[in-house]
Amino acid sequence: MTASLAQSSPAVKTGSRAWRRFCRHRLALFGIAAIVLLVLASVVGPSLIPFDSLKIDIRHRFAPPPFEGHLFGTDQLGRDLLVRLLMAGRISLSIGFAAMIVSTAFGTLIGVAAGYYGGAVRVALMRFVDAMLCFPQIFLLLVLAAFIQPNVVTLTLVIAASSWMEVARVVEGQVRSLRERDFILAAEMLGASGRYVMFRELLPNAIGPIIVAATLTVARAILLEAYVSFLGYGIQPPMASWGNMLNNAQQYLGSAPWLAIFPGLMITLAVSSFNFVGDGLRDALDARFDLN
């Protein structure tokens, strides 16, 4: 009885309630921990390991893990696999975050404009989003990636260009329903400009779903980077990314399976962590889940 009273009392701030609900979500906490660990290991790890990620050591090729300090073994050129995995983590995680920021910013812009102006603007923008979603994301991404000189920046932009549509849809839906609320009417009657209403009134109130979509976009972007790099149109060797490490691994599948297993596990760990966090955030920030 007291518990239910405490929960419904307006004294409990939305923020702390969302935080408590997020903490109940053990998978999301696991996700946060794993992401922090991955980022820390990628940033600090390579300097703690006495091997260089690019140094070729022909005498110790295909050393199975663990081998004389090579905890995860070595690859076809005798390079330490662990340090390469961590260096690859820097690249893959950076691209994931950066692509998320670019695509979320662009998608939000499109979504807010479509939702706020409505009418012809909405129809034009959202039909464009629909049309973009008709193309399989990987097809679009591969074709665009084949047109560019692949490096971290161009790859980020290309991934963002093929994954902003979901965010735009989410934001447009949110803004369209918020648009009809009284506080927007009040702001407009006070003479607020369109830009003020869009970015000071509408956007802050739609931030929950945007954060959720952004988190899931990181997961998606890491996967997409892995796909293009695996297929040879992404990060180019000798620079390591989780995707291009798997590119070579396929031909040594029978003799050196660890070359394929570890990078894939890293991708799966990173991507599922972001998906868990996104799911937890959705439960925490979406008021509808209060009913359950």
| Residues 121-160, mask of contacts with another protein (x by CB under 8 A) | ------xx-xxxxxxxxxxx-xxx-xx-------------
Closest CA to 96 of 280, 274, 268: 274
- Judged by beta carbon, residue 67 or residue 128, the one nearer another protein is 128
Distance of closest approach, residue 262 Cβ to another protein, in angstroms: 11
Q: Which residue is associated with the tokens 């931030």? A: 207
Sequence-separated (6 or more) residues with CB below 8 Å from residue 49: 80, 82, 83, 86
**275 lines the binding site for another protein (CB under 8 A):** yes
- Per the structure block, which two tokens stand in for 245? 């490490």
* In contact, 224 and 137? CB cutoff 8 Å: yes
The nearest distance, CB 205 to another protein, in angstroms, is: 25
Residues 225-244 binding another protein (CB under 8 A) are 226-227, 230-231, 233, 243
Tell whether residue 268 is a contact of another protein (CB under 8 A).
yes
3-state helix, strand, coil in the chain (%, to 5): 75, 0, 25
String of contacts with another protein for each residue 39-58, x by CB under 8 A: --------------------
- Binding of residue 271 to another protein (CB under 8 A): yes
Contact 93, 39 (CB under 8 A): yes
Range list of H helices, 118-136: 119-134
Q: List residues near another protein by CB under 8 A.
A: 27, 127-128, 130-140, 142-144, 146-147, 219, 223, 226-227, 230-231, 233, 243, 246, 249-250, 253-254, 257, 260-261, 263-264, 267-268, 271-272, 275-276, 279
